[in-house]
Amino acid sequence: DLDSAETPLFSPQTPTQTPQEPSVKERRKWSVKEDLILVGAWLNTSKDAIVGNEQKGAAFWKRIVEFYNSSPLLVGTVPRELGKCKQRWTRINDLVCKFAGCYDMALREQRSGQNDNDVMKAALDIFNSDQNMKFNLEHAWRELRHDVKWCSTYLENDKDKRKTADTPVAEPEDRPIGVKATKAAGKRKKTGKDEELTKLEGLMEIKKQISRQSLLESLLAKPEPLSDMELALKTKLISKDMCEMKTKDGVPSLFSHGSFHLLFLMGDEVDRRLNAALDKAVDEYIEDTYNNIVNNQTKKQSKRAYVERNREEGHTRLWNDYFSENYIFPPYLFKRRFRMNKAVFMRIIDRLSENFPFFQQRKDATGRLGLSPLQKCTAALRMLAYGCAADAVDEYLRLGQSTALSCLSNFTEGVIQLFGEEYLRRPTPEDRQ
């Protein structure tokens, strides 16, 4: 019966059954302490000189999460997962980078009489106006502001003018040597000179320690009372001797008390032999160094290859082919090979010779004439006309590759300077008629 209020016997849902509501996992908020621990974990992991930049991203973040969860300040709390830490760091990095730019802008706009609090307030206002939100990660910014990535690029030169010159300036820290450089330095073989220097340093160290031990023996044998200076020296020598008597990894030091006692039993004989060995080593080192310097200075330098091209023959051949009264090649061949008439070519040569010393034929120190203006201009025009290489004109005009390139450069600059205003311009209406 559909109108009956009784529940059917085989009803799919009883009155007591209610649909289950999905369980919502509560979101954990990050506190200031947790942010600072995460920032410290990232800085310590990224600045590790050994494995800071020699690992993949997954291994890098795994180390950060382990560092974060192992912090003693988080004892009793639920450990954070890798994804949550990475997500939180991404937000911190993004907002801190944006605020660093706002703070830099506020520093540039700082007026006289404003202190750091005024600059901070101005930076917060700039961030609020740019991002339409308040900056709530000031604690993270103060932790990261002195790092290279987030430090201010504004140099306060004008503000530091009133400071005295005695203000100490912190020196930049040297970057520690990396893993590869350390391994390479350990595997690098020492040369003969390095081994000699190492032996010499070892001998000097032995003599220094023996001299110090002999001084201590004389102070101990001296009757009391001792002066203040002698007493201080005695105490200092005894402390150094005690430090050298300490063992390293269970093995006694080379210069232990027993070794020194044995050496001093030999007395002056040991000192004499050491002085002789030191003098010999120093003499050999100085002599080898002097010989190396002399050999390097007296080493013959290789001469540059010189090719006698007989440039006079090149000028004579060019003159007889095109410019003499009984020329060999007619004017139409000249126009084909020079891309202009002979009169225009001679006009260009005359103007270049008058205004540029490079195209003037001069004598060298031996009184021999150099290349003629005809050779230089012909070399430039041949390269422009045929698009050939610089050394293609060597066999005919008798000038080298570098000289041909210099001729081309000076020729183009000279033509532009002398004829540019008249010919290298747009045609006028009169020119078109």
Quote the pLDDT of residue 244. 64
| Cα dihedral 381/386/391/397 (nearest 10) | -50
Quote the pLDDT of residue 348. 92
CA distance 415 to 351: 9
Residue 310 Cα distances to 191, 316, 368, 369, angstroms: 51, 10, 11, 11
Q: Nearest to residue 397, comparing CAs of 377, 385, 383, 379?
A: 379
Q: Is the pLDDT of residue 402 over 80?
A: yes
Q: Nearest to residue 337, comparing CAs of 405, 376, 385, 398?
A: 385
CA distance 269 to 124: 79
Over range 136-157, report the average pLDDT: 76
More confident residue, 197 or 131: 131
CA distance 23 to 26: 9
pLDDT per residue over 380-393, tens digit each?
999 998 888 888 88
Quote the pLDDT of residue 308. 86
CA distance 394 to 314: 9
Mean confidence (pLDDT) of the chain: 77
Over range 77-85, report the average pLDDT: 87
Q: Is the pLDDT of residue 120 over 80?
A: yes
Phi, psi at 369, each rounded to 5°? -70, 145
**Each residue of 203-218: b (16+ CB within 10 Å) or e?**
beebbebbebbeebee
Helix axes 228-244, 192-221, angle to 10 degrees: 130
pLDDT per residue over 318-369, tens digit each?
999 999 889 899 999 999 989 999 999 999 999 999 999 999 998 888 888 9
Quote the pLDDT of residue 378. 93
Q: C-alpha 170: how far from its chain's center?
A: 21
pLDDT confidence bin for 411, thresholds 50/70/90: very high
Phi, psi at 251, each rounded to 5°? -105, 130
pLDDT per residue over 23-42, tens digit each?
555 678 888 888 888 888 88
Q: C-alpha 50: how far from its chain's center?
A: 19
Over range 78-85, report the average pLDDT: 87
DSSP letters along 229-251, please?
A: HHHHHHHHHHHHHHHHT--BTTB
- Which stretch of DSSP H or E encloses residue 96? helix 82-108
Sign of CA pseudo-dihedral 150, 153, 157, 158: negative
Q: Is the pLDDT of residue 377 over 90?
A: yes
CA distance 37 to 42: 9
The structure tokens 């005009």 sit at 397
Quote the pLDDT of residue 164. 47
pLDDT per residue over 245-256, tens digit each?
554 444 444 444
Quote the pLDDT of residue 247. 45
Quote the pLDDT of residue 49. 62
The count of residues in the chain is: 433
Q: Is the pLDDT of residue 260 over 60?
A: no
SS3 call for 400: coil
Over range 70-96, report the average pLDDT: 87
Q: Is the pLDDT of residue 258 over 60?
A: no
Quote the pLDDT of residue 15. 47
* Contacts (Cβ under 8 Å, ≥6 apart) of 144: 39, 43, 96, 150
Quote the pLDDT of residue 328. 92
CA distance 371 to 366: 14
Over range 111-116, report the average pLDDT: 85
More confident residue, 276 or 132: 132
CA distance 185 to 113: 54
CA distance 5 to 321: 128
Quote the pLDDT of residue 380. 92
Quote the pLDDT of residue 379. 92
pLDDT confidence bin for 297, thresholds 50/70/90: low
CA distance 204 to 207: 5
Q: Which of 60-64, 129-133, 164-168 has the lowest mean pLDDT?
A: 164-168
The letter for the amino acid at 106 is A
Q: Nearest to residue 352, comparing CAs of 421, 422, 403, 412?
A: 412
* Contacts (Cβ under 8 Å, ≥6 apart) of 59: none
Q: Nearest to residue 40, comparing CAs of 66, 61, 67, 17?
A: 67
Over range 241-270, report the average pLDDT: 51
pLDDT per residue over 179-232, tens digit each?
777 777 766 655 666 666 677 777 777 777 777 777 777 777 777 777 877 777
CA distance 234 to 239: 9
CA distance 376 to 398: 10
Q: Is the bond leading into 331 cis (omega within 30 degrees of zero)?
A: no
The structure tokens 């509560």 sit at 26
Q: Nearest to residue 355, comparing CAs of 406, 418, 403?
A: 418
